[in-house]
Amino acid sequence: MKMSVKPKFFYGYIVVLAAFVIMVVVFGTVYTFGVFFKPLSAEFGWTRTVTSGAYSLKVLLGSFLGIIAGRVNDKVGPRLLVTVCGFFLGLGYLLMSQIGAIWHLYLFLGVMVAIGTSGAYVPMVSTIARWFVKQRGFMTGIVVSGIGFGTLIMPPVATCLISAYGWRTAYRILGIIGSVLIILAAQFLRRDPSQVGLLPYGEGEANQGGSNMQGKGFSLQEAIHTRQLWMACAMFFCFGFGLQAIMVHVVPHATDLGISAISAANILAIIGGAGIMGRVMMGSAGDRIGNKMAITICFVLLSAILFWLIAAKEVWTFYLFAAIFGFAYGGAISLQSPTVAELFGLSSHGVILGVTAFGMSLGEAISPLLAGKIFDVAGSYDPAFLICATLSIIAIALAMLLRPPSSKALTENI
């Protein structure tokens, strides 16, 4: 098959748009859980620990399945994979409208929605890494900015739906819309440019700077034997811990302080809006100043603003927190895939990215459950937020120490 380096229209932009839509829908619906949290707890009398546990299971299982999804994406591509996952996501939300016992919550959200989410982050950003050499960070930033758009739009929408129709009908609407949009967008995905007779955008033009960007790259087995993989997993664990503690508990925390439900939902919306800017700007910054410097800046901002949250009491202080937190977390998310590509190359990018994402999700799974338990025992989220800020400082140190494995390390593991 003859390939053209400079086609009149590069199909990779269609892939970017489809992946963006999928990220909007998947993560927009996922991050509505914070606004469903109190209605569920109030109706069934569940503690915050028990309610948080289902979300933690969703995060952990979804990320573990993301490793498998990354391998499937490496081998056969994202179209069928994401179609199946979109079906499970929609079905999970539809069944959430019928729950009547705690095991329903854990099965429908913790398992079925988890299956649905596994087809989003790792397959999408890994696919973009294959389509783009030049502007890889910028295009990844655009795709993962879909998370921010989803977070900006869906929590306020879900809040209005709950207020107007109740939480059960709100879940039905999310399930139908989510499934239809994901399955439609998935039909435009392709694993790599060779499937449509093209070369990656900028192949041979961009100087990526990392020794492993071109050529063979590391297999998963080879990467496991490097300290860089475990450092990256630890770094993203610290990041994920703070991320999901906030996304699940900042709305209940704000309403506990007397802030209205609508204003509290707007905290998530601001996080989403600021996350859009963070993903695009810091993804582009990674192309210019290097992924290591860019992600370190993000972790510094996260550490500072998490300490601020402990003292926040007024609506404006929460909105300021949301703006900086969203920008920093969005930037860090956009830099994960390019960082993995820079460290380990592209030959097994999907599955290696899945492993680092699983490391992140261990933190994401633990923190909502732990924060809920801390609140149930202490009556305050402050100790949980302090833990998040401390782990962000550790992430700064790990980011500063992270360097690509030498070519010798790859040779020794072949």
The confidence score (pLDDT) of residue 407 equals: 58
Q: Is 187 exposed, middle or buried (0-12, 13-18, 19+ CB in 10 A)?
A: exposed
Structure confidence by residue, pLDDT tens digits, 186-200:
999 998 888 777 788
Name which of 238, 230, 248 is nearest 57 in CA terms.
Answer: 248
Q: Is 20 exposed, middle or buried (0-12, 13-18, 19+ CB in 10 A)?
A: buried
Name which of 82, 95, 141 is nearest 298 in CA terms.
Answer: 141
Average pLDDT, the chain: 86
Name which of 150, 111, 184 is nearest 27 in CA terms.
Answer: 150
From the CB of residue 244, how many other CB atoms can be counted at a distance below 10 Å? 26
Please compute the mean of the pLDDT values over residues 33-57 and round it to a whole number: 86
Please compute the mean of the pLDDT values over residues 70-88 and round it to a whole number: 91
Decide: 116 and 64 in contact? Cβ < 8 Å.
no
- What are 95's two structure tokens? 């069944």
Owner of token pair 């800046």: 297
Decide: 276 and 27 in contact? Cβ < 8 Å.
no
The percent of residues in the chain predicted with pLDDT above 70, rounded, is 93
Lowest-pLDDT range, 12-16, 53-57, 211-215, 342-346? 211-215
12-191+209-413: which CATH architecture? Up-down Bundle (1.20)
Structure confidence by residue, pLDDT tens digits, 353-400:
888 988 898 888 888 889 989 998 998 999 999 999 999 999 999 999
pLDDT higher than threshold 60 for residue 411: no
Name which of 42, 63, 70, 147 is nearest 340 in CA terms.
Answer: 70
- What are 236's two structure tokens? 């993203």
Name which of 16, 123, 116 is nearest 74 in CA terms.
Answer: 123
Structure confidence by residue, pLDDT tens digits, 230-239:
999 999 999 9
pLDDT higher than threshold 60 for residue 2: no
The residue ranges of every structural domain in the chain are 12-191+209-413
The span from the CA of 41 to the CA of 52, in Å, is 10
The confidence score (pLDDT) of residue 408 equals: 47
pLDDT higher than threshold 90 for residue 268: no
Sequence letter at residue 129:
A
Owner of token pair 């593991």: 413
pLDDT higher than threshold 60 for residue 174: yes
Q: How confident is the model at residue 205 (pLDDT cuts 50, 70, 90)?
A: low
The span from the CA of 306 to the CA of 241, in Å, is 12
Structure confidence by residue, pLDDT tens digits, 324-335:
999 999 899 888
From the CB of residue 128, how many other CB atoms can be counted at a distance below 10 Å? 25
The span from the CA of 369 to the CA of 153, in Å, is 26
pLDDT higher than threshold 70 for residue 312: yes
H helices of 193-260, where? 220-224, 227-256
Please compute the mean of the pLDDT values over residues 142-168 and round it to a whole number: 88
- Mapped to the 3 state alphabet, what secondary structure does 138-178 carry? HHHHHHHHHHHHHHHHHHHHHHHHHHHHCHHHHHHHHHHHH
Q: Pick the residue with more confidence: 342 or 173?
A: 173
pLDDT higher than threshold 80 for residue 204: no
